Structure 1
């Protein structure tokens, strides 16, 4: 029998990959990828953010964020404005084009949520969310400490 932790990781991985495929298919005609929509979501929720803000929110390295932001800017979904407080950084805002597709992105996300949560009650969903959040926090803390998790076993 497989180790429960191997199975757990496997199912998380499957959910993640299938979600990426789903989002890529749903947003294909908008030319937005699964690696880009996350930034639009945070920018819809906030008037503007910096790349550093996005790095802190998503725990993604700045180079990856820069590539996605550049792509979204080239597609006309965001604009970068020089930050007057720090001329080395930019404030990022959504454009009218991005605002016009906001409903499509949220509709795609709701469709995914509805699909994977079918026959799962709200209490179970809250519990899963709580457990995953706690596990993510532990993983982030361990990585931030620079420890090799396997060495402690």
Structure 2
């Protein structure tokens, strides 16, 4: 087999980059770039979580999270409130502005998924998702063990 074809990391990287570009283009008019919509999407699922938990949930370093949160805060998509139990931590909440665009964000993300699965049978889609989930768990387990 062709060596490039066997490179799982290459294909995942390609999908990741093109996915960010695609969704970023869909959300450009809202001033949301490719690195921010994933934070909104996570908050749509877990609004009000601590900023550190958001980093852990997304498996993104704290510095990158802080930059994205700052931009979303400046654009009035989120607010940060000091945690009542730990004054050093912030909880992150969606604003009405962010909630109003939730269908648009979700639609852009689903459209990318639909593009990826063009020509796939339902069985192939399910198999792909199962395999990717297993890869994700393997990666998480390996990286967690290394720390």
TM over 0.5: yes
Q: Please, which moves more after superposition, 134-143 or 23-32?
A: 134-143
Gaps of 5+ in 1: 148-153
Please give the alpha-carbon distance, in whole angstroms, between the structure 2 residues aligned to 1:127 and 1:28: 33
Residues 46 and 143 of structure 1: is their aligned pair in 2 closer, same or farther, counting only changes over 3 Å? closer
- Is residue 2:33 matched to residue 1:13? no
Please give the alpha-carbon distance, in whole angstroms, between the structure 2 residues aligned to 1:5 and 1:146: 28
Q: Which residue of the partner structure matches residue 138 of structure 2? A: 138
Please give the alpha-carbon distance, in whole angstroms, between the structure 2 residues aligned to 1:86 and 1:33: 31
Q: Highest CA radius of gyration, 1 or 2?
A: 1
Mapping 1:34-53, distance limit 5 Å: 34-53=34-53
Paired residues in the alignment total: 147
Q: Deviations over 1:18-74 (max 9, x none)?
A: 111101111111010121111111211223111121122111111110110011000
After superposition, the CA RMSD in angstroms is: 1.7
Matched residue of 1:27: which SS? helix
TM-score after normalising by structure 1: 0.88
Mapping 1:1-153, distance limit 5 Å: 1-3=1-3, 6-146=6-146
Please give the alpha-carbon distance, in whole angstroms, between the structure 2 residues aligned to 1:59 and 1:4: 27
TM-score after normalising by structure 2: 0.91
